[in-house]
Amino acid sequence: MNGEPDVLLGISGGIAGYRAAELVRLLVREGVGVQVVMTAAAERFVGSTTFAGLSRRPVLTELGGAGDPVFPHLDAARAARVLCVAPCSANTLARLAHGIADSLLTESALAAAGQLVVAPAMNVRMWEHPATQANLAVLRDRGAIIVGPDDGELAEGERGTGRMAQPAAIAAVVEMLLRPTGPLAGLHVLVTAGGTREPLDAVRFLGNRSSGRMGIALADEALARGAIVTTLVCNSAVAPAGGTIIATPTANDLERRVGELAPTSDLVLMAAAVADYRPAATEPGKRRRADAFDLRLEPTVDILAGLGSARRTGQVLVGFAAEAGVDLASARAKRERKGVDLIVLNDVSRSDIGFDVLTNEVVLVDAEGHHLVPRADKRTIARAILDHVEKLLPR
């Protein structure tokens, strides 16, 4: 492959390095020029020859070779429009956050002018450590796009968040950055994701089992289609790959932010599981343990209904209905009552879809009728939802 690379792909140490080979294959198949740079630790898990064959370019390594350029990190970083680090170990993540240039990869990161995309991969306890989360916050504030990590079984036998995101998901983000066009290009999209938590006292709350994965999948898919995305995150287990991210832990927080942002949005996807009730009074400290106590609840504001009554011309509103069973009559009535274009109905009584799992199955209910989207991973469900939404947008 001739010409300057579009993407500088950094591979750091970890068993997930073998999955980066699929990422290279996917990008090259789409005509993307990929220059791979590997850390010494990465070479202990997978050989550079594999990546040289897939990328059709010599791989940049710590040892280098006789024919290598004098300043390989500067040359590659100058040319690439995207620097993608996948997998990104906890060690490399910390170095990227703090500008430590002690390897060819981290030197390249300091010299790179393109967009930084990071796909973390590590043990769940390392991922959850405050130092790792602080490093992520630094990179996000600097404009980096974080893809993943996913939940699941980890290499050492534990389960939890830490698996490198699927190569296809990473490739979609990279391709979107290289070709920022698509059916939603230029549209402002507002997404809500996760479940609100309504405080009982300083440490306890009323909440639900929403992981936020469905809303985040919608945000990621909208980004991949060229949209300008803002995601209001209610205690989600995962974060979107990019765009603007705002924490809205309670129904009050969400109501305020939706009120601020929805009027200027072209498309609003209300995927968050918002509490219908909250404690009428909250203890400022921790409530002492007792045999029993009475708890009085009060209703929260119906945010979706408020949007429907105040919508502007041309704006598309999508609501979600989490029900125990598939009640189409109720979903149709909810769509009309709340004044929205589309209701996404999902059955949360099933253990294999909906809350707290990686898959979903939904029924799309609009003015014309209903359409079943069969069980699949949540990114696939998000694609089906946005395919349908595109038909509702003004032409």
Q: Are 393 and 266 in contact (CB under 8 A)?
A: yes
For residue 129, give every residue at least 6 positions away whose Cβ sits within 8 Å of its Cβ, in sequence order, or none: 90
Closest CA to 145 of 84, 216, 90, 95: 84
Catalytic residue among 91, 208, 346, 360: 208
Q: Are 95 and 62 in contact (CB under 8 A)?
A: no
Q: Are 19 and 54 in contact (CB under 8 A)?
A: no
In which element (H, E) is residue 110 found? helix 104-111
In a 3-state reduction of DSSP, which class is residue 297? strand
208 is known as an active-site residue: yes
Q: Are 278 and 255 in contact (CB under 8 A)?
A: no
Q: Which amino acid is at 159?
A: R
Tally of helices (H runs) and strands (E runs) in the chain: 14, 19
Cis upstream peptide for 87 (omega within 30°): yes
Separation of alpha carbons 375 and 221, rounded Å: 18
Q: How is residue 375 written in tokens? A: 């069980």
Distance of alpha carbon 60 from the chain centroid: 30
Distance of alpha carbon 263 from the chain centroid: 24
Q: Are 7 and 27 in contact (CB under 8 A)?
A: yes
Residues with a known catalytic role: 208
